[in-house]
Amino acid sequence: MAKKNPYDSTIILSVASLVVMGIIMVFSSSFSYALVNMNDGYFFLKRVVIWALIGTFAMNFCARFSYWNWKKLANLIVLVSIALLILVLTPAGTRINGAQRWLGVGSISVMPSEIAKFAAIIFVSTSITRKKEKMQSFVYGVLPYLLFIGLFFGLIYMQPDFSTAFVVSVVIMSLIFVGGMKLSHFIGLASAGFGAVASMIGYIFMSGKGYKAARITAFLDPWADPSNTGFQAVQSLLALGSGGLFGRGLGRSVQKHFYLPEPQNDFIFAIIGEELGFIGGATILLLFIVLIWRGIRIAINAPDLFSCLLATGFVSMVAVQVIINIAVATSSMPVTGMPLPFISFGGNSLVIFMALSGILLNISRHTNLDRS
């Protein structure tokens, strides 16, 4: 048996730093909201610590669990994921703020869309590895995965959750591309996808109806209606702008006090910018860049196609979610719900990302890298 390398310390330090920073910022950004709405200022802190401990266990397990074993579980994982995505759309699903995205009893809840991200990476990576000789064919290689994207996109979009459906679609497309599809097929599909999204946005905007049209209008000029449709974007920009270079100081945010709705979630980067300033925000970005760079290095030097695809799936998911979250916080795109990996409050998301980090660590033990 070939001698295994040590776990990649860069990944461990990056993930650990992001998780610790996430716990600190979730507590800082949520205390006032939790005190008023949950009658317990430590409500979110206690839960994020519990989820972080569960995530640590998941990361440790996945780091020790040989990545090859995921191939044996791929079909089961994807079937369970599809069943949960269907179940959440039934009366068994929990509806909160107009969205039906949760399954659970009492204080324990599961987001099937987060499990779908994990399932998509495992299943598509396994499938491509088994049929890699067919990936050059559009009908036999690419088309089945497009149908798979359509299934997952449709089930998640019906919740409704366009942003997560989009992320899953992009991750699967990145796996197909790395898995060996023709460049001409990729360019054609990418062009068609961007065209479809542009057409949908244009249709929504021209109709001028519903909250989606309001979000697009607010994105174009959030200051035109700062107290209504542009409220979130304006408050996020005020938070980032008031932080300056070094920030107001940890715990001293103003915008978290009932200006930004649920600041511990989608707009936590704005609170980071306000309390820790440009330096704090840049540090978070640097940690993500290091993690993504290391993931790319592992994917490039992976010992086989399967491990390369697993690493690619993790890297693409982290990169897409970071880009979307920060773009929303800086009003560079319309407001949409997308947590910042490892940072935003959300137990399901944290556990999934830490589990995938564990798989990446396991792959790193079989990869020859410069570990200096």
Predicted local confidence at residue 209, as pLDDT = 62
Task: Report the C-alpha gap between 54 and 48 in whole angstroms.
Answer: 10
Closest CA to 121 of 342, 290, 363: 363
State the sign of the Cα–Cα–Cα–Cα dihedral 239, 245, 249, 251: positive
DSSP 333-366: S-----PPTTTSS-HHHHHHHHHHHHHHHHHHTT
Peptide bond into 160 cis (omega under 30): yes
What DSSP string runs through 161-181? -HHHHHHHHHHHHHHHHHTT-
Quickly tell me which residue has 């920009």 as its tokens. Answer: 237
Contact call for residues 147 and 285 (beta carbons, < 8 A) = no
Per domain, the residue ranges of the chain are 9-364
Amino acid identity for residue 33 in this structure: Y
Strand partners, 109: 104
Cα separation, 57 vs 138, in Å, equals: 41
Higher pLDDT, 198 or 326: 326
Residue 166 pLDDT exceeds 70: yes
Question: What is the Cα–Cα distance from 270 to 340, expressed in whole angstroms?
Answer: 11
Q: What is the dihedral of CA 57, 63, 69, 71, to 10 degrees?
A: 100
Distance from chain centroid for Cα 244: 27
The model's pLDDT over 203-217, given as tens digits with 9 standing for 90+, comes to 766 766 666 667 777
How far apart are alpha carbons 41 and 371 in whole angstroms? Answer: 42
* CA 276/CA 91 separation, integer angstroms: 43
Distances, alpha carbon 50 to alpha carbons 46, 59, 115, 169, in Å: 6, 14, 19, 30
pLDDT confidence band for 106 (50 / 70 / 90):
low
How confident is the model over 70-89, as pLDDT tens digits? 999 999 999 999 999 999 99
Cα 326 to Cα 231: distance, rounded to the nearest angstrom: 17
Is 27 a residue whose pLDDT tops 80?
yes
Rg (the chain; Cα; Å): 21
Question: Tokens at residue 287, please?
Answer: 């940690």
**Tens digits of residue pLDDT in 285-321:** 999 999 999 999 999 999 999 999 999 999 999 999 9
- Per-residue pLDDT at 109 exceeds 90: no
What is the largest distance, in Å, between two alpha-carbon atoms of the chain?
Answer: 66
Distance CA 178, CA 334 (A): 29
Q: What is the pLDDT of residue 327?
A: 93
Answer whether residue 249 shows pLDDT above 50: yes
